[in-house]
Structures are given as structure tokens and as C-alpha cells.
Amino acid sequence: DKGAYDFFMLKEIDEQPGVIRGLEQTYIAQDGQIEVDDKLMSAMNQADRLYIVAAGTSYNAGLVGKNIFEKLAAVPTEVHIASEFGYNMPLLSEKPFFIFLTQSGETADSREVLAKVNQLGYESLTITNVPNSTLSREATYTMLLNAGPEIAVASTKAYTAQIAAETILAKGLGMLKVTPAAAEFDTAFELTKAANAIQTLVDQKDIVEDLAATHLSTTRNAFYIGRGIDYQTAIEASLKLKEVSYVQTEGFASGELKHGTISLIEENTPVIAIITDQKTAELTRSNEQEVISRGASVINIVSENLAEEDDQIVLPAVHQLLTPLAAIIPAQLLAYYTSKERGYDVDKPRNLAKSVTVE
Ligand code: F6R
């Protein structure tokens, strides 16, 4: 039931703080211990490399997860598009462990890979929102997102839930591997902080609605740019905008723009920069100057500690590993309001189905 909402997408965007708190309650004990199946944790601990396999938004959540697994658990992690991996499998490490990210648990491309992984005799985990879904039944282990039904075709709360789930697993694995980064990382504290940041951002929807109206209501194309983790967020941000508003959008590594793509910048081309990492903030800002001098109209989504006077969207402080949880929220809202402003059925974009059961 949509209740007072015009579309499920906005309802699901608003549900995200509660979904993250729910994951904390399910998987983190009072004393901070991670409560995930011991056998799953030991299977992951025996692996020399993690392979995350997924499609679409779930793949984009995997890109963010790679950074979290490598930083907290110090385990090399690869992320693969399911439809590529199935037929062009890379050379696997000696002891691979497979993680399938899938909201629906039914995506055919991912099922195809899992069937091959099972044939090869490797263990796997499916992280999904749907209990008893095919990918859940066919994997060795399941971790449920408990995000509640996601009705809008464009995935929002499953993305942030998947990142939170990856964080919980990475912390558990890092504790088994005794990494200093895991010892220092207070999962419940950091996830709560992220949930609170999301709440603040969804409470400031009006700012984003105005920006959608002024920058995106008539444009044909747009760019999201960022570096490092902000580039991973930019990829998901651009998928959200293009799929519901039909604005052709690319998520780009800021530094790569000048190597060709900058030729697409014209008068008033919207360029949205995500800036959460102090190491690269100045570099991204100088890439922005390059597009501004070619006429781009810029929106900045910037962490509190790095914000400057003209930045339109300021993100409350969260742990550096979890900035995608905050930075994606204004991007989800920009996609929603742009689609609504253009008069589209936000929940049912043309040509798309919620669950893609063909390869
Ligand atoms: C985008 C979107 C799709 C799905 C993709 C995978 O908003 O919803 O890109 O993320 O089809 O679906 P699941 O996660 O169900 O495997």
C-alpha cells in the first residue's frame, strides 16, 4: 500500500533508515558481535578471494562492497556482472567463495552463474530480499535483507540494505582474520550514524526537488562524476536517473572525463559531482572547473567536512567506508523528482520489469 505517497519509489527511499536499523538488530548482538551463521563465516574465512556476482543495481552494491571487504577484512574481492561471468569466467583463485547479490533472488543471469558454481563444487552465499527465492535455495548459505517488498522497478532500499549487509559480513570476517581495521570499526555505531544521515537527507527532499526542476527537467543528458568510492556511487546514481527519467546519464571517474568524454559537455549540460573523500576532493573540484568552463551546470553532493559555500547538497558525516549510503540518497531523490516532473510513471519505467528472468 502506497499510503500517502504518489509512488512506491519515494516510500521505499524513505524506508531506508528503518531497513538499516533492522539489519543491525538482526545481525549485530548487544556487545557488538556479528551474529551470522558460524559455518558461513568460516567458509568465507577459508577463501583466498571473494567473487561478488550480480546484475544492475545489485552489481553496483557489489562495487561498494569490494571496497568494504578489502578494507575491513583484507581479503581480495572481485565484482562481476552476472551475464558476463557466466560465459566468460575469469581464472579463479585456488579457494574462491562466491557471493550473489540479488534483491529478487530470481535474476536469470545470476542463476546461471550459481548453477556453474555448484557444478564446480564451490560454496556460495546469496544475499537477497526474498526468502525461499531460487538463488536463496540453490546457494549454500543465505543472508536475508528483510527490507520489505520492493515494489518500484528502480531499486533503492535493496541497494542500501545490500551495502549494510556487506558491511556486517566484512566486519565479521575481519574479526576472524584479526585485522586492525575491523577491530576499530564499530559496526552498530557506524550503521546507526549512516541511518541517521539518511533520515536527515530524506527530510530535506525539497532541496532536491528544486534542483531536479532547475537542472534536470528538460535536459537530454547528464553526468555523475566522482573518484574512488564516489565513482562507485556515481555509477549507481546514473543508473537511477537514466532508468526512471530517460535522461541519458553516465557515471564517470572524474579524472577520466578529460580523456575523451568531456567533448560531450555543452552549454547547460548537467554535471553532478559526488565528493566525500578528502584525498581526492580537490582533484574532483578541479575537474569540475574544467566542465564549468565549457558551460556545464554543476550540482555538488559533498560531505559536511569538505563542503564549501556554494555546494547545493551537504551530506551529514558518516564513516568513510559508508559514504555511499548517504551520497546515494540525494541521487535517488533527483531521479524520482526528475521522472515525476516529466510526468512519467515513476514506479514502472518503460521497457523494464522488476525481476529479469531471461538471460
Ligand atoms: C535497477 C534495478 C535492476 C536490478 C537488476 C538485478 O534499479 O532494479 O538493475 O538491480 O535487475 O535484480 P536483482 O537484484 O533482483 O537480482
The pLDDT tens digits of the residues spanning 134-170 come to 999 999 999 999 999 999 999 999 999 999 999 999 9
Which amino acid, 103? Q
| Residue 10 bridge partners (DSSP) | none
Number of H helices, E strands in the chain: 14, 10
Using CB atoms within 10 A of its CB, is residue 289 exposed (0-12), middle (13-18) or buried (19+)? exposed
User: Would the pLDDT of 86 be above 90?
Assistant: no
Tens digits of residue pLDDT in 308-325: 999 999 999 999 999 999
The whole-angstrom separation of Cα 180 and Cα 73 is: 9
Q: What angle do CA 181, 226, 233 make, to 5 degrees?
A: 65
Give the pLDDT score at 355: 85
* Ligand 1 atom nearest 159 alpha carbon: 10
On the question of pLDDT at 356 being above 90, the answer is no
Give the residue numbers annotated as catalytic, written as ranges.
354
DSSP state of 3: T
- Mutational pocket test of ligand 1: of 356, 358, 359, the residue with most ligand atoms within 8 Å of the beta carbon: 356
ipTM for the complex shown: 0.98
Burial class for 119, CB neighbours closer than 10 Å (0-12, 13-18, 19+): exposed
> Is the Cβ atom of 349 under 6 angstroms away from ligand 1?
no
Please report which confidence band the pLDDT of residue 354 belongs to, taking 50, 70 and 90 as the band edges. Answer: confident
| Order of all β-strands in the sheet with 248-253 | 248-253, 221-226, 270-275, 297-303, 313-315
Ligand 1, from 7, 9, 58, 241: best to mutate by most atoms within 8 Å of Cβ? Answer: 58
Q: What are the tens digits of pLDDT across the range 101-136?
A: 999 999 999 999 999 999 999 999 999 999 999 999
pLDDT of residue 137: 98
Q: Average pLDDT over the chain, rounded to whole?
A: 97
Q: Ligand 1 center to residue 356 CA distance, Å?
A: 8
- Distance set, CA 285 to CA 37, 148, 204, 291 (Å): 44, 38, 24, 10
Full-model pTM: 0.98
Number of Cβ within a 10 Å radius of residue 98: 25
Per-residue pLDDT, 312? 98
